[in-house]
Amino acid sequence: MLLEVENLYAGYGKIEALHGISFHVEKGEIVTLIGANGAGKSTTLKAIMRLPPPESPTVLNGDIRFNGASILKTEPHHVVAHLRMDLVPEGRHIFGNLTVNENLKLATWTRKDDDIQKDMERVFELFPRLRERMHQRSDTLSGGEQQMLAVGRALMAKPQLVMMDEPSLGLAPIVVRGIFDIIREINAQGITVLLIEQNANMALKIADQAYVMQTGTITMSGTGRELAENEEVKAAYLGKAK
Ligand code: ATP
């Protein structure tokens, strides 16, 4: 088991945002958490990443294990460097004043291996648009291109697990399809993916396992297909688009 979240309670100050959630991610899987605004999806990812406060919630109870060992006492930079997790953040926090190339290189700061150039090539193969724009300042990229860069950066960090927070947010349908194709491709190359999405339709299509979150709890789980066919899920999250 790559990631296990067990009976996790977490909150911000006096607000408890997660009320004892449990789920797991097996090596090689795509797992998705879906749910409405405010359900606690981002909070879950931030708790796993151990981001510094105030952005990150405080874990009140429960455990988070990566490769079998608890990471609750692990410093954020160790989580990224040693556990090889990376987060493609909602809002794509890339460094706007740096070029595409510089942003990608920066992501490799924790790596000590010799494959950096090879992986850079791989990112450019996945996203030819980024190759064309490698010397361009990142804040001049389009929204979709910035999202590609955020995904590319996560890949350059060479994580065992890549966590993505709403990678389709605000993107045109055609770009969204492209992003989902890439997620599949990344996964086929051996990277495990934990994806949170408002776009439940697409997320459930590519997910091996899926969980529904509602106000800080997990209310349903199953394979992506099971949940996509579930009447309650359809009514609440899939709207008319089937
Ligand atoms: P969305 O899809 O809207 O991003 P979400 O499922 O990711 O929703 P979270 O962002 O995890 O939801 O929010 C869960 C709850 O925690 C919400 O009630 C939210 O107001 C609260 N919350 C999130 N971040 C903070 C924070 N930094 N300080 C206080 N409360 C927060």
Residue 171 in this model has a pLDDT that exceeds 70: yes
Q: What is the pLDDT of residue 10?
A: 96
Closest-CA residue, ligand 1 atom 30, reads 12
Mutate which of 42, 164, 214 for ligand 1? The one with the most ligand atoms within 8 Å of its CB, which is 42
CA of residue 135 to ligand 1 center, whole Å: 36
pTM: 0.88
What percent of the chain lies above the pLDDT cut of 90? 51
Identify whether the C-beta of residue 152 lies closer than 8 Å to the C-beta of residue 127. yes
Q: Name the residue with the closest Cα to ligand 1, atom 27.
A: 55
Report whether residue 117 contacts ligand 1, using a CB cutoff of 6 Å.
no
Point out the least confidently predicted range of 25-29, 187-191, 238-242.
Answer: 238-242
Q: What percent of the chain has pLDDT over 70?
A: 96
Q: Which of 45, 29, 20 is nearest to 196 (CA)?
A: 45
Longest dimension (CA), the chain: 50
Tell me the range of 128-132, 161-165, 237-241 where mean pLDDT is highest.
Answer: 128-132
Does 111 score more than 70 pLDDT? yes
pLDDT value, residue 39: 93
Enumerate residues 6+ apart whose C-beta is below 8 A from 142: none
The whole-number pLDDT of residue 30 equals 97
Q: Which of 41, 44, 59 to mutate to test the pocket of ligand 1 (most atoms within 8 A of CB)?
A: 41
Distance 43 CA to ligand 1 centre (A): 6
Check if 37 has its Cβ closer than 6 Å to any atom of ligand 1. yes
Give the C-alpha separation, 86 to 80, whole Å: 6
Residue 12, ligand 1, Cβ within 6 A: yes
C-alpha span between 70 and 149 (Å, rounded): 31
Per residue in 203-222, pLDDT (tens digit) is: 999 999 999 999 999 999 99
Residues 6+ apart with CB under 8 A from 119: 108, 155, 156, 158
